[in-house]
Structure 1
Amino acid sequence: MNRNNFYFFVSWLILLLVVQLTFAKPNTSGKVNIEDFENYLNEIHVDDEAAEDKTRNAVNSPLQRWPSNLLHYTISTDYSKEEVDNVHAALLVFNESTCLRFREYDVRQNGNLKYINYKKSSDLCGTRVGFNPLTPTGPHDVILNPYCLSERGVIQHETLHALGLYHEQSRPDRNKYVKIEYSNIPQKYWSQFIAYPEIYTTTYNVLYDYESLMHYSEFAFSKDRTKPSMRARSGNTVIDRKMGQIVGPSEGDLKKINIMYKCNPLK
């Protein structure tokens, strides 16, 4: 292995181990968007490789996809009954609209395997993106605070991260569909708007999706909340339009999961 290949391999391993931990708090505009649940706890700059890894669209490496379509999960015992019900309800969409099957984990019945652990926090919401092949057993934590637990769409957003999806606005082809207004974005958040080449990520040939649960809003991280940080492109014309939502996975989100996990066409 030559030196360049060695450095590439080491960098890939570092990126593979990145964990997304985010600080959730509402904005002051009165409108709630997905990025309001994912404001960063730490100061992240544009040259932060760890921050950059969080922004891709979908994992390209098969090693980062869960090895089975049967996924086991646990829910923290300090969740309220309403919060537990919200997690169960949030996961139903994957059981109903994909070939993935979420089942509660019982170590006595299921043995020592990898499972998703919905863990409670007072202020954090986040998870590592994709399966970690270096730790094939034990918990994969999805950390949620009460604010995030109140929205099923946010629980699904973080679950989609765990399954291997990144943010829609950082697709390799996104410059055809959005214009980023960097002058209206603090530099520490520029990493959230980096577009990555297909060598690192893939769109699975799914059309760009402004309605994706993984898309930030048109005002994401805006310095001036009356002006967009992203504008949609219609050919060569730049237009203002709504982006993102917190209702639930879009058709495009579910299509990516079905392709990623080699689901047969659903009837």
Structure 2
Amino acid sequence: MKTLLVALACIAGALAVPVNPTGEAPLWTRSGQWQGDIVLSPEQKVAIRSGRTGLINTYYRWGDRTIPYKLRDGDFNEAQAAIIRNSLEEYNTRTCVRVREATAADRDWVLVTREDSGCWSYVGRQGGQQQLNLQDNQWGTCLISGTVVHEFLHAFGFYHQQSATERDDYVQILWDNIQDGTAYNFDKYGADLISEFGVEYDTESVMHYDKYAFSKNGQPTIISIRDPNQSLGNNRGLTDRDILKLNRMYGC
């Protein structure tokens, strides 16, 4: 009987351990880019590796607080294009920045593509045409409102929330659960590299990793200090703090 009770206790303990309910890593973590879905310019790579000022450079801001974009010909059908356009309307209705379809007069724009390489974007304006990819096929889709908004926030100049200088006051990184070779995705940056524009850390931000990001065993890699059971991030869209930070970044 004692052996049975011990066995039952072990089973109960195992069942109490939170495990990734889907069992599959989000598509953006499988893109093979920096922090999963970020493409860095050569200058941004140097800034991160050397720790010098550069990521908050206003050079990367979009003129007129507007991102013009094009959907690459032949990549998206009408239904897919509608998802993208409807998702981007959140910027036009809830923030002071704008996203619109590009015209021949635009010198800088985002080219949205549907390559089989995951969900990813450059950070900030790069000059001329820059690519933003939204995969959609039998292996996974990026055509989810929160994901579209997330990738365009990168294009506006946002990095991931958990890279914030003060992140250790709000979340704990569970290093032992992180896939080998991917711990760099949880690096945090100093205030000379990125800015939160005076907005408090947001565990629900559309730019925050979920709690199982880059997990090697289905267990959490990042948890809220205040409530370890809290879900992190969201795949719906902008939070109030996301909006406040974006508006402050663009001075409007």
2:212 alignment counterpart: 219
2:11 alignment counterpart: none
2:224 alignment counterpart: 232
Offset of 1:185 from its aligned partner? 0.5
Q: In the alignment, which of 139, 154, 158 is matched to residue 165 of structure 1? A: 158
- Contact 2:177 / 2:215 at 8 angstroms: preserved in 1? yes
Distance 1:194 1:185 in 2: 13
- Contact 2:28 / 2:120 at 8 angstroms: preserved in 1? no
Structure 1 runs of 4+ aligned residues shifted over 6 Å read none
Change (3 A) 1:103 1:62: same
- Contact 1:59 / 1:130 at 8 angstroms: preserved in 2? no
The 3-state SS of whatever aligns with 2:225 is strand
Q: Kindly provide the CA deviation profile for residues 118-159 of structure 1, in whole angstroms up to 9, marking residues without a partner as x.
A: 112123321111112xxx3x3121111114343121111100
Asked if 1:72 corresponds to 2:68, the answer is yes
Q: Kindly provide the CA deviation profile for residues 86-144 of structure 1, in whole angstroms up to 9, marking residues without a partner as x.
A: 1110110000111112221121xx2x510111112123321111112xxx3x3121111
Distance 1:187 1:149 in 2: 25
Distance 1:75 1:196 in 2: 33
Offset of 1:37 from its aligned partner? 2.4
- Contact 1:73 / 1:117 at 8 angstroms: preserved in 2? yes
- Written as runs of structure 1 = structure 2, the 5 A alignment for 1:191-230 is 191-225=184-218, 227-230=219-222
TM-score (normalised: structure 1): 0.74
Q: In the alignment, which of 22, 28, 34 is matched to residue 30 of structure 1? A: 22
The 3-state SS of whatever aligns with 1:221 is coil
Distance 1:51 1:143 in 2: 24
Distance 2:48 2:135 in 1: 23
Equivalent residue pairs, number:
219
| Structure 1 vs Structure 2 CA RMSD | 2.9
1:253 alignment counterpart: 242
Q: In the alignment, which of 105, 120, 129 is matched to residue 123 of structure 2? A: 129
Distance 1:93 1:67 in 2: 19
- Contact 1:86 / 1:149 at 8 angstroms: preserved in 2? no
Distance 2:202 2:190 in 1: 18
2:84 alignment counterpart: 87
Distance 2:31 2:110 in 1: 22
Q: Which runs of 5+ in 2 are unaligned?
A: 1-19, 36-43
- Contact 2:174 / 2:221 at 8 angstroms: preserved in 1? yes
Distance 1:74 1:36 in 2: 23
Distance 2:159 2:34 in 1: 20
Determine which structure has more spread, i.e. the larger CA radius of gyration.
2
Percentage identity across paired residues of the two chains: 25
Change (3 A) 1:232 1:42: closer
Offset of 1:51 from its aligned partner? 11
TM-score (normalised: structure 2): 0.78
1:145 alignment counterpart: 135
The 3-state SS of whatever aligns with 1:187 is coil
- Written as runs of structure 1 = structure 2, the 5 A alignment for 1:92-111 is 92-107=89-104, 110=105
Distance 1:72 1:233 in 2: 39
